[in-house]
Structure 1
């Protein structure tokens, strides 16, 4: 698309006709933009649908009330916030660049946006720690990790995420509506001060990324070691059965490690590299928009990684989709035993 065609697909108006300081309104039209909006809408629908399935499954079926599943539930709630609030608002601003609700709503939106990403990362770290304990000390796992303890850790994680977000927005002058400085009336932008770029990079990327990579590397090593131990025990059995066990153990560990780490890094590394290359980052920039959508799409992929790959999720999703959820005894459905 050349410059002439681009301007033909964008009609410039004003957000508020009765306000002299109103921002310019950019309404994007054209076939390319329509296809983009349809694509983003499909992602939002998938995000909401999949995360709601995870939430309903774990919340409703008592047999799924395990410490690990509570983490998956918490992750789904964080990702659902992204799908219900952040992604629709960002899509509408792609269509219409104006912000009409006001400064208070702008502050609330920035808080929800930040806490959904922060809580999602926090839950991913907790999942890595949970899996490490489960594979490193499986005999004492049920004693060390209980539903009550996990619930407290989840509450602590969300509380720390909220506290960090409030501090982050306060020192970047976006927490209070009176602090928000806008160039014109009708915009809601987030400007990150250069002094906070490094701080946020360490807290929101380097620390959780290092923990996840290190723990999953250890998990992968332990899984291979355990697979070798199983092969030695099965020396007296047939070669077919031995090869099947070995292949299954290594394949599962490798797949989990690869998917979790690669998707996490692929969605966050571009943003972090860009953060280091500029003095100030504004949410109006094209680069910010693309990188923010990469992170948002990660919230849609999370339920695929942490839930759809679990057989119990497929069983519970089928149960819910076929409308058997409304049976009086549905919460005590016990056909998940072979899937957990």
Structure 2
């Protein structure tokens, strides 16, 4: 009797119930308090910083007239996806890294993976469209204004988001219709996706886009190098500008693919094993971190973003004529 009491006390110290008043509650292991604090501070700072930077991008493109271009509309759509990631995906994914219990209810347990898939798939779609846009701008600059305009870009963005939703719903149909399959006890939220769906998703969201985007940017580099050798002084400035824009967006695409590859390599090898849930969560967090990287890349390579951010943070955008401020001053 005495031995039983000692064992029970040790279990209470090392294991707790997610919902102590519920007999169907899952159990969770106790971790050091310092570990909780460090992870939550990191997640909070990263999420806030992601939201802040992407809000700067969104406000800049919406406010300043000089930024109302088809390419920047695509960047706006990408920033909206990154903003959603910072507001919803990163905080929840961060909690899943440290907290084994799910406290957001069964409905959100089913909806959250859908939001995750829609946002990251839409981001990938935006990057593909941006790649096509840059290819046309560099390969056929004279007819670019005729082929690409704001209305066509908006239509492509709407189609991209609709496709992302339909595709994500198709992949997650079973978990959405039968949410009870996602948990065996109260406080658990595990996403199970069939291996054949994982293979399909890796082809649709990694292999095929990687081939398309890589081939486009290889062609962009060849065309840009050719133009650099044969252009005259009149078109020199425009060509250099297009080449720099293509290079910057190429870096955005490269960083995106580097964030995605670990996730797919992990899910294809371990995604069907529930014991690897923590590793899957880490890979999903790396995918979400891409939403922070994009505005940082803009800040490093786009002078217009640095200037617009300065105007926003100093509240100069409150001036009546601020939307006509020049963001492309001539370089001395």
- TM-score bucket (shorter structure): 0.7 to 0.9
Secondary structure of the structure 1 residue equivalent to 2:28? strand
Select which of 14, 18, 24 maps to 1:15. 18
Give secondary structure in 1 for the equivalent of 2:177.
Answer: coil
Q: What is the CA–CA distance in structure 1 between the aligned matches of 2:253 and 2:308, rounded to whole Å?
A: 27
1:133 partnered with 2:136? yes
Comparing 117-126 and 11-20, the one that deviates more = 11-20
CA drift of 1:194 comes to 1.1
Report the TM-score when normalising by structure 2.
0.86
Q: Tell me which residue corresponds to 2:153.
A: 150
2: CA distance between counterparts of 1:183 and 1:139?
Answer: 61
Does 2:81 match 1:90? no
Question: In the alignment, what sits opposite 1:197?
Answer: 198
Give the secondary structure class of the aligned counterpart of 1:274: helix
Change (3 A) 1:91 1:261: closer
Structure 2 equivalent of residue 3 of structure 1: none
Tell me how far apart the structure 2 counterparts of residues 135 and 254 of structure 1 sit (CA, whole Å). Answer: 8
Return the match for 2:313 from 301, 314, 321. 321
Distance, in Å, in 2 between the alignment partners of 1:282 and 1:59 is 44
> Quick one: distance in 2 between partners of 1:87 and 1:296?
6
1:336 paired residue among 323, 327, 332 = 327
Q: What per-residue deviation string (whole Å, max 9, x for no partner) do you get for residues 186-230 of structure 1?
A: 122211211211111111111111111111111111111111113
Structure 1 range deviating more: 124-133 or 24-33:
24-33
Label 1:17 to 1:205 Cα distance change in 2 as closer, same or farther (>3 A): same
Unaligned 5+ residue runs, structure 1? 1-6, 235-241
Deviation larger for 288-297 or 90-99: 90-99
Deviates more, 1:131-140 or 1:178-187: 178-187
Per the alignment, residue 296 of structure 2 pairs with: 304
Give the gaps of 5 or more residues in structure 2: 1-9
Take 2:243 and 2:230, find their aligned partners in 1: how far apart are those partners? Answer: 16
Name the structure 1 match of 2:3: none
Q: Cα–Cα, structure 1 residues 216 and 274, in superposed 2: closer, same or farther, change >3 Å?
A: same
Whole-Å separation in 2 of the counterparts to 1:228 and 1:253:
18
> What's the offset of the Cα at 1:184?
1.0
Task: Give the alignment's Cα RMSD to 1 decimal.
Answer: 2.8
Decide whether aligned partners of structure 1 residues 253 and 223 sit closer, same or farther in structure 2, where only a CA change above 3 A counts: farther
Deviates more, 1:19-28 or 1:47-56: 19-28
Aligned to 1:224: 225
Contact between 1:28 and 1:94, CA under 8 Å: does it hold in 2?
no
Equivalent residues in 2 for 1:1-340, closer than 5 Å: 11-170=14-173, 173-176=174-177, 178=179, 180-230=181-231, 233=232, 252=244, 255-256=247-248, 259-278=251-270, 280-282=272-274, 285-306=277-298, 308-331=300-323, 333-338=324-329
- The alpha-carbon deviation at position 25 of structure 1 amounts to 2.7
Aligned length: 317
Q: Distance in 2 between matches of 1:249 and 1:227?
A: 11
- In 1, are the aligned partners of 2:255 and 2:290 still within 8 Å (CA)? yes
Conservation of the 8 A alpha-carbon contact between 2:94 and 2:285:
no
Stretches (4+) displaced over 6 A = 248-251
